[in-house]
Amino acid sequence: MFKSIIVDDEKNIRERMARHFPWGDFQFEVVGTAANGLEALKLIDDEQPDLVITDIKMPKMGGLELVEILHEKYPHIVVIILTAYRDFDLAQKAINFNVKGFLVKPIMKSDFRQMMTRIMDEPNLNQSQPAPQQTQLTADQTQPSQPTQPNQQTQPTDAAPTQPENKITPTPLARPEQTLKIRKSNNRYVNYAINYVQEHYTENITLKDIAEKLFIHEAYFSKLFNEETEVGFNAYVNYIRIENAKRLIIYSDQQLKEISTTVGFSSHSYFNRVFKQVVGDSPLSYRKKYFEDHDH
């Protein structure tokens, strides 16, 4: 197995990458993590890793100083930079130290797989006696993965992003984003979750399920979703289900109990309770009022 070390001052990022990313698929194991460059140097001296993935901005010793030292002292180690877009100009300087690529935060599983597939071809990983490499970065290696646009679905797999096909059909009331006042987000995790719910609201969806798909901690995802949208995740799931239930109540002949099951509620009584909380009327009253208003 090849050895890897993760260096980042954010504990959540270190733990998420170490515990939840598919290192074994690429014959790698994480032998340690560090919160800054100084900790990393000691760990690297002890473990002699094949790969170091490091953030740029850290206390005590940042990523640029670390990769410069690695370039001089351990030129055989493959180095990948973690960066945010605001740090990318700084990260470009690391090219001088033979950095092999960049992973843009927040890191998705597909980005990780793509990068690991690329570095598996590095000559250093296949040499029993490591030697300095002077490989130039290609154009695509010097550019970070492009951020997902708010209306795109970010897949936590290697598949290319696709547009959600099951868009909510407008009902006589406002769209969910307007009524629920969901704040738009540029966060890839949050946008993935929103699009996933809109496509799979008929299925059993839990906070834990989404967090596992995104390879992040459940509590962290819950806090992130709430902060980015100003709406709780479970409240959003229920709202999407109710919006689709309103459409079926008006445009289908289904019984109300059947509609509650169709839109993903396992309990009809819970569906009635949530519907009244969201709409202000019971499902039966909502149907009656609509047809009374439109029966001309």
Q: Are residues 210 and 112 in the same domain?
A: no
Q: Are residues 66 and 180 in the same domain?
A: no
**Is residue 89 very low, low, confident or very high in pLDDT (cuts 50, 70, 90)?**
low
Cα 83 to Cα 2: distance, rounded to the nearest angstrom: 23
Cα 224 to Cα 62: distance, rounded to the nearest angstrom: 26
Q: Are residues 133 and 204 in the same domain?
A: no
Q: Are residues 109 and 193 in the same domain?
A: no
Task: Report the number of distinct structural domains present in the chain.
Answer: 2
φ, ψ of residue 29 to 5 degrees: the values are -135, 145
Would 169 be classed as within a structural domain? no
Q: Are residues 85 and 191 in the same domain?
A: no
Which of residues 121, 142, 163 is at a domain's end? Answer: 142
Q: What is the CATH number of the domain that holds 221?
A: 1.10.10.60
Distances (CA, A) of 100 to 81, 89, 189, 252: 8, 16, 26, 56
Closest residue by Cα to residue 77 from 138, 139, 3, 24 = 3
More confident residue, 206 or 106: 206
More confident residue, 177 or 292: 292
Cα 251 to Cα 260: distance, rounded to the nearest angstrom: 15
Q: Are residues 82 and 14 in the same domain?
A: yes
229 pLDDT higher than 50:
yes
Q: What is the CATH number of the domain that holds 31?
A: 3.40.50.2300
195 pLDDT higher than 70:
yes
Residues 114-164 have pLDDT tens digits of 889 888 877 767 553 343 333 333 333 333 333 333 333 333 333 323 333
Closest residue by Cα to residue 92 from 129, 60, 67, 61 = 67
* 196-203 contact pairs (CB < 8 A, 24+): 196/153, 197/236, 197/237, 197/240, 198/164, 198/166, 198/167, 198/168, 198/240, 199/153, 199/164, 199/165, 199/166, 201/237, 201/240, 201/241, 201/244, 201/263, 201/264, 202/262, 202/263, 202/264, 203/264
Would 24 be classed as within a structural domain? yes
DSSP structural state of residue 207: H
DSSP structural state of residue 202: T
Q: Are residues 116 and 245 in the same domain?
A: no
Q: Are residues 243 and 126 in the same domain?
A: no
Domain enclosing residue 6, as ranges: 2-142
- The answer to whether the CB of 161 falls within 8 A of the CB of 188 is no
Angle of helix 283-294 versus helix 233-251 axis, rounded to 10: 40
Average pLDDT on 234-254 reads 92
**Max Cα-Cα span within the chain:** 86
Cα 77 to Cα 100: distance, rounded to the nearest angstrom: 10
Q: Are residues 116 and 244 in the same domain?
A: no
Would 85 be classed as within a structural domain? yes
Task: Give me the sign of the Cα torsion angle 195, 199, 202, 206.
Answer: negative
In this prediction, residue 188 carries a pLDDT of 82
Q: Around Cβ 45, how many Cβ atoms within 10 Å?
A: 10
Q: Are residues 29 and 125 in the same domain?
A: yes
Which of residues 142, 159, 193 is at a domain's end? Answer: 142
Would 152 be classed as within a structural domain? no
- The answer to whether the CB of 51 falls within 8 A of the CB of 24 is no
Cα 10 to Cα 15: distance, rounded to the nearest angstrom: 9
Least confident of 14-18, 50-54, 100-104: 100-104
Which of residues 125, 142, 159 is at a domain's end? Answer: 142
